[in-house]
Amino acid sequence: MKDIQIHLEKLRKEAAECFVVSNLATDPEKRELFARVGGHLQELASGVQNAMAAEPANEASAEDTKVVDSKEATTTRRMLPWVLVLVLLTAAGAFVWARAERAPSPVTALETKAEPPPAPQEDTKQAIAKILSAEEEKRKLLTDQLGTLAARVDNLEKARAEVVEPATRRDAETPRQPRHRKTGAFNW
């Protein structure tokens, strides 16, 4: 009788755990599955409790009538723990099955271990190298533009020097002629 009570308590604990897992589950299908398993375990626990409550009454009536089939009683008593074990194994299987869906398969785990992802340091080094090469290209472009601009400024200075130099030589070599005629006495 104590064994049956122990199994009854285990059933109640398993039902409570299923309800807790059902409340914590984020997937609606898993939530429903654990709620159903918890409800089923709770029904089984109440059935076992009802059977335990009815068993003393059955024993009393059997004693009154003196019609007791000892083989059936022992068979029923032997089957009840096995039924409880079967129910517990079913509940544990459902629990393990639900967890197995979330866990990656061992083959996938081995594949991921075989090819380690690139280290964060390598990614950082590659990013820095890209940034430096982009900066170097920008610096080269600016240097080329600066060289072109300097060449244009030099050409402008040469052109200005050529324009100013001939005008200065001409002024120095020939006296300056007035632009208007000199008027003296009336020349008619």
pLDDT for 115 equals: 58
More confident residue, 99 or 45: 45
Question: For residues 142 and 72, what is the distance between their CA atoms, to the nearest angstrom?
Answer: 101
The model's confidence at residue 163, banded by pLDDT at 50, 70 and 90, is confident
What would the mean pLDDT of 10-19 be, rounded to a whole number? 89
What would the mean pLDDT of 120-140 be, rounded to a whole number? 88
CB count within 10 Å of CB 112 equals: 11
Output the CA–CA distances (angstroms, integers) from residue 49 to 13, 122, 163, in the order listed: 14, 64, 119
More confident residue, 45 or 117: 45
pLDDT at residue 166 above 90? Answer: no
Q: How many residues does the chain have?
A: 188
pLDDT at residue 128 above 60? Answer: yes
DSSP labels for 119-168? PHHHHHHHHHHHHHHHHHHHHHHHHHHHHHHHHHHHHHHHHHHHHHHHHH
Question: For residues 21 and 119, what is the distance between their CA atoms, to the nearest angstrom?
Answer: 37
The model's confidence at residue 138, banded by pLDDT at 50, 70 and 90, is very high
pLDDT for 109 equals: 57
CA 126 to chain CA centroid, nearest Å: 23
CB count within 10 Å of CB 44 equals: 21
What would the mean pLDDT of 87-116 be, rounded to a whole number? 70
Do the Cβ atoms of 153 and 161 come closer than 8 Å? no
Q: Which long-range contacts (CB under 8 A, 24 or more apart) does 74-81 make?
A: 80/4, 80/48, 80/51, 81/3, 81/4, 81/7
pLDDT for 66 equals: 47
Q: Kindly list the domain boundaries of the chain, sorted by start residue.
A: 2-114, 117-174
What would the mean pLDDT of 174-179 be, rounded to a whole number? 58
Instruction: Give the pLDDT confidence of 45-70 residue by residue, as tens digits.
Output: 888 888 888 876 555 454 555 445 56
